[in-house]
A and B are shown apart, each in its own frame.
Chain A
Amino acid sequence: MRFALIADEVRVAIDSDADIVSARQKGRGLASQCGFPSTDLAVVATAISELARNIVRYAVRGEVILRLIDDNGRRGVEVVATDDGPGIPDITLAMQDGYSTSGSLGLGLPGVRRLMDEFEIASDFGKGTTVTARKWKR
C-alpha cells in the first residue's frame, strides 16, 4: 500500500441497494472523523454511491473497502470498489462521458474521477473490476 493506514479499514459487502446506503454511511463517518467539510462528505458519499451502484448493476455483487489514509501528514479517505464480475472490455470507452452499456447517463465513472482527487481503474475482462478513488482533506 502506498499510504499509511490511520485506522482499521472498513469493508462493506455490496449485494443490494440497501448495501449502497450502508457503504455511504460508513464512508461519511470515516471522512467526518478526519475533519472533512460537510460538502466533501457528500462528495465521498457520491463516489461510493456511483461505484457501488455499478457493482450492483454490472457485477451483481462485490465489496467496497474504506480507508483513512495519511500521506506525510496529509489525511484523506480512500474508497476501493472491487468485484469479480464480467470486467470492462474497453476502459477508455467506459471512462468517456455519456458512455453506458445499460442505456443510463454514463455519468458514474467519469463523475467520480472528477469529484475525487485521485482515481484509478483496473479491470481484467472476464475477471472483475477494481476502482480506487481518494479524496484528501483540504
Chain B
Amino acid sequence: MNAELRELADEYARALENYLVGRGEAALQDAYELGRKTLAKGLGMLDVATIQQRVLLKCLMRAPTTKEGTRILRMAHKLFVESLLPFEMSHRRVQEVNTALRESEQRYRNLVDTARDVIYTLSIDGKIKSLNPVFETITGWLRDEWIGKEFSPLVHPDDLPRATTLLQVVLAGRVPPTFELRVRSKSGAYIPGEFTATPQTQEGRVVGVLGVARDITDRKRAEEALRGLNEALEEEIKRIAHALHDEAGQLLASVHIGLAEVARDLPPHTSRRLDDVRGLLTKIEEQLRHLSHELRPTILDDLGLHPAIEFLADGVSRRTGLQITVEGVPGKRMPAPTETALYRIVQEALTNVTKHAQASRVTIRFARDGRLLRCSIGDNGAGFDVLAVQARRGARGLGLIGIQERLNAVGGTLNITSIPGSGAELIICVPVEAGGADADSPRR
C-alpha cells in the first residue's frame, strides 16, 4: 500500500472508530467525503474496497466478543456504502452515456440502412469496409461480394486513374469536391454516380474514407435529352435561316428585277417614285439577310465566337439604336456546343435589353481566367428585381430559364446582378480548356 492509500486508510479508520462510538451521521458524512476525495484523486472503487478490507480486519481482530464483531461488521457495511456512493454517481453517468451512445448508434444505423444513396467506407489500402443495403438495389451486387475487397474493379477502367488520385487526396486528409465515377453493376452495365469522399480520422490520423454515392442515371438522361433538344433546335433554326436567306432572298431578288423592268416602261417622273420603293426593298433585303445570318451565323462555325457576337451586336444595334460595345476576346476556340450556347445566351440577353430595359448602352465583355471564360452583358437600363423574377411561378418568360439550362448542359454558371434604376448585368462563366488567347480561326 502506498503513502497516498495509507493516508486515506487512516482517515477511513478514524471514521469507522467514530461511527462505532456513536458519532452517527457525522461519521457517515466523513466516509462519504472520503469516497469523494478518493474519486477526485483519480483512484478507483477497488482502492476503496482495499482500504475497507484493511481497516475492517484490524478492527475485527480487536473485537472482544463475537457479538461485538457482528455489530462492527454491520456498521462497517453502512460506512462502506457511504464511501462507495460517489462512485455510484459516476457509474450512473457512464451508464447514461452508454445508453445515449447506443441510441445514437441505432439512429445512425437506421439512417444508413434506409438511405437512398450508397454510403460506403474504405480502408486506407482501398478495400471496401462497409456498404449500406441500397448498394444491392442499385448495383445488383450482394454487399458480401464486395466487403473486404478492393474497390477498383467496381469502377469503369477509364475512371480508375482519377478514382485512385482522389483516394490519395482523401488519405492525405483533404476533402475533394464531389466527383463522378461510373460504377459497374452486376449486369455489366455502368451506372453514373456522383460521389463525395471524406477522410475518417482517429486521434488525428486518417484511418479510412467515408463517402456517399448517388445514382445519377436520371439526371444524366435528362441532360442528354436536353442536349439532343438543343441540337434539334439548332438544326431547325438552320433550316429557317436558309429558307429566309435563300428562298425569301431569291423572291425579293425577282421582285427587284421585275420592278426594274416596270420602271423602264414608265415615264421618268413616275419611275422616280418607284425608286423610293426599290430603296425600301433593298433595306428589307438587307435586314432579311442579316436576320438570317444572326439566326444561324455561319460566321460562328467559320470564324468563331468573337466575330459572330460582333456581327450580332452590329445587327441589333442597327435595328434598335442601342449602342453596343464588345470588349475583350473569348480566346481559343471552344467546342461547338459551348460556342453555340454562348452565342444564344448573348442573343437572348440582347433581346431582353431591347424588350425590357429601355437602355441606351450595352457592354459585352469577355475575359479568360485560366480554365474559365467569363462573359458579361451589362446594360444601363431600368434594371429589375432579380429575386422576384426568379421566384416567379407559372407564367414567366423562358429567356432566363433557357440561359440557365444551356449553361447546365455545358457546366457553366449564371449570375445576375441588377440595381433597379441603373441597369442589369448577366455574368456567365463556362469552363474551357486552359490555354492562351489564340486568334479566332475556323474550326478544325
Contact = CB atoms under 8 A, between A and B. Distances in A.
Interface centre among B36, B40, B82 (most CB of A within 10 A): B36
Interface string B227-263: 0000000000000000000000000000000000000
A131 to B, nearest CB: 15
Interface in B31-89: 32, 36, 39-40, 78, 81-82, 85-86, 88-89
B81 A39 contact: yes
A22 B25 CA distance: 7
Contacts of B107: none
A114 B96 contact: yes
B29 interface: yes
Nearest to A114: B92
Contact of A110 (B29, B36, B82, B93): B93
B86 A24 contact: no
B81 A42 contact: yes
Contacts of B82: 42, 45
Contacts of B439: none
A28 B90 CA distance: 22
B78 A38 contact: yes
B89 A42 contact: no
B424 interface: no
A30 to B, nearest CB: 13
Contact of A21 (B25, B36, B78): B25
Interface in A82-138: 97, 105, 107, 110-111, 114-115
Interface string A40-68: 00110110010000000000000000000
B89 A114 contact: yes
B378 to A, nearest CB: 52
Given A38-B81, A105-B39, A45 B28 contact: yes
Contacts of B337: none
A116 B86 CA distance: 14
Contacts of A105: 36, 39-40
B26 interface: yes
B45 to A, nearest CB: 15
A69 interface: no
A121 to B, nearest CB: 16
A49 B85 CA distance: 11
Contacts of B39: 105, 107
A31 interface: no
A115 B78 CA distance: 17
B24 interface: yes
B399 to A, nearest CB: 53
A46 B25 contact: no
B25 A115 contact: no
Contact of A25 (B24, B32, B78): B24
Nearest to B24: A25
A20 interface: yes
Contacts of A39: 81
Nearest to B83: A42
Nearest to B82: A42
A20 B29 contact: yes
Interface in B12-28: 24-26, 28
Contacts of B92: 111, 114-115
Contacts of B29: 20-21, 24, 45, 49
Given A42-B78, A110-B89, 19 more contacts: A21-B26, A21-B29, A22-B25, A25-B24, A42-B28, A45-B25, A45-B29, A46-B32, A46-B85, A105-B36, A105-B40, A107-B36, A107-B39, A107-B90, A111-B86, A111-B90, A114-B96, A115-B88, A115-B92
Interface of A: 20-22, 24-25, 28, 38-39, 42-43, 45-46, 49, 97, 105, 107, 110-111, 114-115
11 contacts: A21-B26, A21-B29, A24-B29, A25-B25, A28-B25, A38-B78, A42-B85, A105-B36, A111-B93, A115-B85, A115-B89
